[in-house]
Chain A
Amino acid sequence: MAAQPKIRIRGLVKQFETRRGTVTALDGIDLDVQEGEFACLVGPSGCGKTTLLRILAGLEQPTAGSIEVARGDPSRPLQAMVFQEQSVFPWMTVRRNIGYGLAMRRVPRAERERIVARYLRLVGLERFADAYPHQLSGGMKQRVSVARAFATDPEILLMDEPFAALDEQNKLLLAEELVRIWEGTRKTVLYVTHSIDEAIHLADRIVVFTASPGRLKAHFPVPIPRPRDLGTIRAHPAYPSIYQQVWKALRDEVLAARRRDEGAVAAGRR
């Protein structure tokens, strides 16, 4: 992988000004993501993973550092994000929600309808094309959100714990679907998750963050071949050792985050 990476992040710093002073969310991130790589970002809560995604999504400005992205086809959008919380527009039907990014890019109606129909089928919501979000379950809404991001055919897909609010079974089902759709497109993906299992299921590489302020602690490649079957992946011989390594790296950071939180609570009480 000596070729130029798809995303090259160098010395990325993000600080927020709050009433209690400056908070450093990201403290010098260096990260390369290769073209077509599925990278999972794992770290304790509040370590800045979401902030990194939001910077890449153009929703935050970095305080310092650089991000270089090797553009492939400039007619395609650079990125699209799938948000953690419910982000499907309640005032639009499923069809219009999925077509939103396309409409914003002024894709002609006929082509837009064709693409939307394809993604409706891919996420299994054809029968709900004209339903409004309030008629859908949480899992269905997240499928709309995923379809909306894929529909614009972005070069990079940013996913911030997209299935975190779902129950375990639905989470597994959606992960299966995501793997299936992704394996057909091979987009570059940055995927934030709290779950080591989910990271191993999905990722080519797992990137572990330190506790706040966020830095990169370690990288773990996931050498499990694709296409992956999430039903049997836990039986793969590499699975336990990857899990142990990631957890070992993560555990200290979670403990550090806990000490920090406990300190903050104690300070608040004083």
Chain B
Amino acid sequence: MSMTPEAEEHRTARAASPVPAGQDAPRAGTATGTVRTATGAASRPGRDGRRLLATHRDRLLSVLSPLALLLLWELLVRAGLLDARFFPPPTQVAGRFVEMVADGSLGQHVGISLLRVVLGFAAGAIPAIILGLTMGLFPLVRALLEPIVAALYPIPKIALLPLLLMVFGVGETFKIVTIALGCFTLVLVNTVAGVVNIDRIYVDVARNFGASRLDFYRTVAWPGALPMIFAGLKLGMGVSLLLIVAAEMIGARSGLGYLIWNSYQVWDMAAMYIGLVLLAFFGYLFTMALNELERIVLPWRSR
């Protein structure tokens, strides 16, 4: 077996990449006092260093730009160019933040919202994965349920809020069911698609090697559908945040959605911005968590 594996070729190709001809020549002649060996390799640390500096610079810029925006906001309000009633300056929002953390009200809002999202997400996603796999694997079940799913899927779940409010009242069930419904359809549709679109060849391989039905589910259907299931979970997570805010705005006395709506009604704009920033923060956190989970569960995906 003398074939050079491609992966290795790439590696060697990179290691042996010649230093661009013009790069070293002029500098080697200058009187900077830099000691240089004759090999081109000597210039590599310098070039790597520059690349490292570049990434540091990019990272620094991506931190600086939002800070600059906040600073601009602060200055514009202080200069009287922005109306502080609508756009309280960041320092004031920060002050309100400390206050709300200290009196425990913010922790309460955040805690209850997170609990609702997690419960609703799980209550929607887990049955959706199970039903989705069943629909994907059994054409009969799929034929039976597909029209219903197709009819429910396009309804914006916010439109169901009055109905759900009627059925469940304003209690916790209402919020959890709302989120669960929103996640359910998204995860379900993606899971079904994941199973149905598994490449035909993998089904053939499993059959050719005498895989039992259970073997097939375990070794082909489930891992083959997982990437699409994850896509569904990510969409479901986004919709969960949307729905928790909507549900808490119309039927709650706590949570981030309530905080935002109530702050608007009592004209506590700083508190409203805190709600918005926290939503952005948790949206980001959830996305990162799902991405990380995906990286662990699906190490075989090329990226």
Contact A80 B208 (CB under 8 A): yes
B-facing mask of A91-116, CB < 8 A → 1, else 0?
11100000011011100000000000
Q: Which residues of B contact A57 (CB under 8 A)?
A: 204, 208
Nearest B-chain residue to A78, judged by Cβ: B210
Contact B6 A134 (CB under 8 A): no
Nearest A-chain residue to B299, judged by Cβ: A132
B2, B5, B224, B226: residue with the most chain A Cβ atoms closer than 10 Å? B5
Tell me which of A137, A139, A152, A170 contacts B209 (CB under 8 A).
Answer: A152
Q: Which residues of A contact B5 (CB under 8 A)?
A: 127-128, 136-137, 140
Q: Which residues of A contact B205 (CB under 8 A)?
A: 83, 87, 89, 100
Q: Which residues of B contact A91 (CB under 8 A)?
A: 223-224, 226, 298, 300
Nearest A-chain residue to B226, judged by Cβ: A91
Q: Which residues of A contact B298 (CB under 8 A)?
A: 91
Give CA–CA (A173, B209) in the complex, Å: 26
Does B207 sit at the interface, judged by CB under 8 A? yes
Give CA–CA (A90, B210) in the complex, Å: 19
Give CA–CA (A101, B1) in the complex, Å: 24
Nearest A-chain residue to B211, judged by Cβ: A104
Contact B6 A140 (CB under 8 A): yes
Does A123 sit at the interface, judged by CB under 8 A? yes
Contact A90 B300 (CB under 8 A): yes
Contact B201 A86 (CB under 8 A): yes
Does A77 sit at the interface, judged by CB under 8 A? yes
With A85-B201, A87-B204, A104-B211 already in contact, the answer to whether A92 and B3 are too (CB < 8 A) is: no
Q: Which residues of B contact A135 (CB under 8 A)?
A: 7, 302
Contact A173 B300 (CB under 8 A): no
Contact A87 B302 (CB under 8 A): no
Give CA–CA (A124, B211) in the complex, Å: 27
Give CA–CA (A173, B3) in the complex, Å: 8
We find that the number of chain A residues with CB closer than 8 angstroms to chain B is 39
Q: Which residues of A contact B209 (CB under 8 A)?
A: 77, 80, 100-101, 104-105, 148, 152
Give CA–CA (A137, B4) in the complex, Å: 10
With A89-B220, A91-B224, A101-B209 already in contact, the answer to whether A139 and B201 are too (CB < 8 A) is: no
Does B44 sit at the interface, judged by CB under 8 A? no
Q: How far is the CB of A229 from chain B (nearest CB, A)?
A: 15
Nearest A-chain residue to B215, judged by Cβ: A104
Contact A132 B300 (CB under 8 A): yes
Give CA–CA (A81, B210) in the complex, Å: 11
Give CA–CA (A90, B105) in the complex, Å: 49
Chain A contacts with B in 133-190, Cβ cutoff 8 A: 133-137, 139-140, 148, 152, 170, 173, 177
Tell me which of A77, A85, A105, A124 contacts B1 (CB under 8 A).
Answer: A124
Give CA–CA (A104, B298) in the complex, Å: 22
Contact B3 A134 (CB under 8 A): no
Does A235 sit at the interface, judged by CB under 8 A? no
Q: Which residues of A contact B215 (CB under 8 A)?
A: 104
Q: Which residues of A contact B301 (CB under 8 A)?
A: 90, 134
Chain B contacts with A in 201-219, Cβ cutoff 8 A: 201-202, 204-212, 215, 219
Contact A123 B1 (CB under 8 A): yes
Nearest A-chain residue to B298, judged by Cβ: A91
Does A1 sit at the interface, judged by CB under 8 A? no
Q: How far is the CB of A194 from chain B (nearest CB, A)?
A: 19
B-facing mask of A227-250, CB < 8 A → 1, else 0?
000000000000000000000000
Contact A124 B208 (CB under 8 A): no
Q: Which residues of B contact A103 (CB under 8 A)?
A: 219
Q: How far is the CB of B167 from chain A (nearest CB, A)?
A: 41
Given A57-B208, A85-B201, A87-B205, 7 further pairs, Cβ under 8 A: A80-B208, A81-B204, A83-B204, A105-B209, A124-B1, A128-B5, A132-B300
- The 3 A-B pairs with the shortest beta carbon distances in the complex, nearest first, are A124-B1, A137-B6, A134-B302
